[in-house]
Amino acid sequence: MAKKIRLKKIAVCDNWQLTSQNGYECGGYKQEDAPLVEWDVNPPTIVFEYIKGKGMPSQQTSRLIFPELDLWNDAPYKKFVYKTRVTYNLGASNWLNVSTKEKIFREGGNSGKINPRQADVLLDVTGLAGLSAGRYSASIIYEAYGIDDRGGEHYIEPSSVSVTVKLEVKQGQASPSDLVTDKTDLVLTYNKATKTLSGDTRLEVRTTEPITFNITPDWESFYPFSLDILKETDKSVIQISKSAYSDTTPVDSTYEFHAEIKAGGKKKTIIILFKTISGEVVKDFDFSPRIFEDTLIKGVDSAKTFTADIVNPNNLEIRVSLKPSFIETAVIEGGKLKITTVKPESLAVGAYSGEILLSAGTIEKSFSVRLKIAESLKSDFRGEAYYFALDKNKIKMSQNNPFSSYVKMKLEMFFKGYQQEYQEVQEYEYLYFKNEVEIFPGEEIQDFFARCRELYPLNDVGHQYSFALVNITITEHNADDEQLSEYQIKNVFFVPGRRPKCFPLFTNHPMRRTYPESVIRISADAISEKAEFVPLMNIYQGGKPAFEKKNEVRSHNFIRKLFTGKENEIITAGEIKYIPFPEVENPIHIFFETENLVFEWFSAHDKYRMISEFEHYFDAENKLKYGSKRKKSLTINTGWILREEIALIDDLLGSNLCFIMIGNLRLKAVAVGKKNEMYDTSEYLYQMDLEFNVIETM
């Protein structure tokens, strides 16, 4: 079973206003559900190689994306912290050190950051002196903990992704001129809180000759440790201890030293890795997220507002000390920092970056704001509450960078409808033609909408599907596949198909003939004004739809005869006209799927024929029967219809799915007729047989 998609609230514009420059800016927002950013790591696999005597492997970095648990609609807590758990899969343990520069994780005396968004996780191998040659493996799992109002922590979940770290230790080639030592590398850790030095504090040198050593780079400026040489019968022992100056070393720093040891014409270089850590707790404040970035398109976007949550357990007086010129305002209100950019029209095309500095007494913290102003990208996705996927709304990208070879489009899509809920991420590549690329995102999005496939919606009314929420990312790349630029169009809503001719109703057929028992199925979005239907609702005696404004498409069934006082009159609502026809005893109700992925309706005459065809399976001599396969076909006569309904029959024949009601019989079927033979100018009334293959019956 697919994991349930976790949702958060986002602000989306529901009041686009035209600006004096013929652009659009938002005059009001509303809250909508969107998927959380979830766990992610990159890269998922890290490989170290260590050759004994050749120096420590270089530090490597893994980018970790934290889930937005604090924004989750069902979050049990508002604050979350994270820890690491390392599992060693092969061979020795405790050779991997996991850390971050900004003390993101809660461990080792650090309280950890509240609600972080991402971290560059630093990976170091340590304690390698005792490892024999071979292959080793470890897995890093991250764990989330909720923090209650009293500061207690509660385990929430492990990360859905992990980092695999592989280490290969190789035996170095010794030469006759090498000194023999019991270790090739030393790793030392100094804890400033406990004032203790731990790790490889002893090195044996197999020689009876006097030894000398030289340490590089220059280390005497802060002299982190002391070296004492003890002579024994067949060896010398170098004993390492903390120096009086260890406490002056920077907190959470790592230093690498090369100790060249000489004795009796032989020499050897030992790597010393010296780390300092601190478990001290100081008065502090924090905020999340720590980086803000976005792309604003001239003539499309208005000023952008970012919001950061400030964590201030010590009630410090925090103020904004510095902001870049492209930030209009940066204010702290109610425990939140709100940053608003200037309008993109006032900035030249290009990239802007700067630091916002927050201070509380002597404590200062800064974070980056990155803003891109784009003009080479022109988008039709502006000013509308939502877009029909198959309408010709496009994005045009001009080739302004001479090194740009092609364009990529990434679609991050969230769909919800017909009892389904899922995400899709797709990427597409486009080559320039005459220095331009034209992209029609809706054509790609159309393929992923939720479709009704169950035999239940014949009498089902109300919510059919929500507007698809799509984030569009356009990137330029050179011939080496390196990214040159990035543009984002966020929170665009789509519905399937083309804009219907009778919009806001999702139908292309305004004139219908109806029987008293006809089931009229009306589909529409839940946000457009439908004033023309108010008089009809006032005279309808059946169940009435609730017109609650939401970003979704709804369907409602109406019985023709329940419009009081209109039994023998034409019912009119805007372009729609329902023409009364003489009653038939048991009209057949056909619902067929349209490209808008709602169900259109048609009332047929009560004449039909259902045939069961059997295919039998025998042995080679046709004496023993193994089984049979039955195929049901259905033929329904349309009855006399209007000329204006002939095009509706075309749509019915071209539909992918039909639901049919014949009395108490419910059928799931597909239309298989190949011809619509009613286009005949010599006739005034029209009828034909409709042919179906029956898929399911209930």
Strands 45-51 and 163-170, by their bridges, are parallel
User: What is the structure's pLDDT at 310?
Assistant: 81
Side chain identity, residue 335: G
User: What is the structure's pLDDT at 281?
Assistant: 46
Q: What tokens were used for 145? A: 């903990």
User: What is the structure's pLDDT at 201?
Assistant: 83
User: What is the structure's pLDDT at 130?
Assistant: 60
As a residue count, the chain comes to 698
Burial class of residue 314, CB neighbours in 10 A (0-12, 13-18, 19+)? exposed
For tokens 């005279």, name the residue: 539
Neighbouring CB atoms inside 10 A of 19's CB total 12
From CA 56, how far away is CA 353, in angstroms rounded?
36
User: What is the structure's pLDDT at 293?
Assistant: 80
From CA 185, how far away is CA 203, in angstroms rounded?
9
Strands 406-417 and 468-477, by their bridges, are antiparallel
From CA 32, how far away is CA 28, in angstroms rounded?
13
Query: Residue 227: beta bridge partners?
Result: 240
Mean pLDDT value across residues 1-10: 79
Strands 511-514 and 576-580, by their bridges, are parallel
What's the mean per-residue pLDDT of the chain? 84
For 624-665, the pLDDT digits (tens) are: 888 888 889 899 998 888 888 889 999 999 999 999 999 888
Q: What tokens were used for 128? A: 């390698």
Side chain identity, residue 425: V
For 148-198, the pLDDT digits (tens) are: 988 888 999 999 999 999 998 887 766 666 788 877 777 777 777 677 777
- Which residue did the predictor score with more confidence, 131 or 112? 112
Q: What tokens were used for 629? A: 């396969």
Rounded to two decimals, the pTM is 0.67
Of the candidates 243, 237, 130, 249, the one whose C-alpha atom is nearest the C-alpha of residue 197 is 243
Alpha-carbon dihedral angle through residues 193, 199, 205, 206, given to the nearest 10 degrees: 150
Q: How confident is the model at residue 264 (pLDDT cuts 50, 70, 90)?
A: confident
Q: What are phi and psi of 626, to 5 degrees?
A: -95, -25
Domains and CATH numbers, the chain: 40-170 (2.60.40.10), 185-277 (2.60.40.10), 286-374 (2.60.40.60), 377-495 (2.60.40), 511-697 (no CATH)
Mean pLDDT value across residues 377-385: 86
Q: Find out whether 462 and 554 touch, Cβ atoms under 8 Å.
A: yes
Find the radius of gyration of the CA atoms of the chain.
36
- Cβ neighbours of residue 290 closer than 8 Å, sequence gap 6 or more: 102, 116, 117, 367, 368
Mean pLDDT value across residues 500-518: 93
From CA 430, how far away is CA 436, in angstroms rounded?
10
CA distances from 425 to 386, 395, 472 (A): 20, 18, 10
Mean pLDDT value across residues 295-306: 76
From CA 205, how far away is CA 197, in angstroms rounded?
21
For 574-598, the pLDDT digits (tens) are: 888 999 998 888 899 999 999 999 9
* Region of poorest pLDDT, from 1-10, 131-140, 423-432: 1-10
What's the first-to-final CA gap in the chain, in angstroms?
A: 27
Q: Find out whether 387 and 440 touch, Cβ atoms under 8 Å.
A: no
Helix ranges (DSSP H) in 301-460: 441-445
User: What is the structure's pLDDT at 28?
Assistant: 79
Residue 427 predicted with pLDDT over 90:
yes
Q: How confident is the model at residue 462 (pLDDT cuts 50, 70, 90)?
A: confident
Q: What tokens were used for 694? A: 């029956």
For tokens 């204006």, name the residue: 644
Neighbouring CB atoms inside 10 A of 302's CB total 19
From CA 501, how far away is CA 505, in angstroms rounded?
8
From CA 41, how far away is CA 517, in angstroms rounded?
59
CA distances from 400 to 413, 431, 482 (A): 29, 14, 16
Residue 290 predicted with pLDDT over 70:
no
Q: What tokens were used for 524? A: 């529409």
Helix (H) or strand (E) holding 537: helix 534-539
Neighbouring CB atoms inside 10 A of 23's CB total 19
Q: What tokens were used for 683? A: 């006739």
Neighbouring CB atoms inside 10 A of 123's CB total 19
Q: How confident is the model at residue 1 (pLDDT cuts 50, 70, 90)?
A: very low
* Region of poorest pLDDT, from 85-94, 216-225, 460-469, 687-696: 216-225
- Which residue did the predictor score with more confidence, 133 or 554? 554
For 12-24, the pLDDT digits (tens) are: 887 777 766 666 6
User: What is the structure's pLDDT at 180?
Assistant: 82
Helix ranges (DSSP H) in 263-399: none
From CA 173, how far away is CA 449, in angstroms rounded?
62
- CA 331, 490, 481: angle at the middle one, nearest 5? 115
From CA 384, how far away is CA 391, in angstroms rounded?
13
Mean pLDDT value across residues 116-126: 90
Neighbouring CB atoms inside 10 A of 627's CB total 8
Please state the separation of Cα 400 from the chain's center in Å: 29
Q: How confident is the model at residue 460 (pLDDT cuts 50, 70, 90)?
A: low
Q: What percent of the chain stands above pLDDT 70?
A: 89
User: What is the structure's pLDDT at 173?
Assistant: 66
Of the candidates 484, 497, 379, 375, the one whose C-alpha atom is nearest the C-alpha of residue 438 is 379
- Evaluate the CA torsion angle 681, 686, 692, 698 in order and state its sign: positive
Alpha-carbon dihedral angle through residues 39, 42, 45, 49, given to the nearest 10 degrees: -140
Q: Find out whether 369 and 387 touch, Cβ atoms under 8 Å.
A: no
Q: What tokens were used for 532? A: 């023309």
Q: What tokens were used for 237? A: 């022992």
User: What is the structure's pLDDT at 47?
Assistant: 93
For 663-678, the pLDDT digits (tens) are: 888 899 999 988 777 6
User: What is the structure's pLDDT at 26?
Assistant: 76
* Region of poorest pLDDT, from 52-66, 246-260, 525-539, 608-622: 246-260
Neighbouring CB atoms inside 10 A of 217's CB total 9
Q: What tokens were used for 636? A: 């329904």
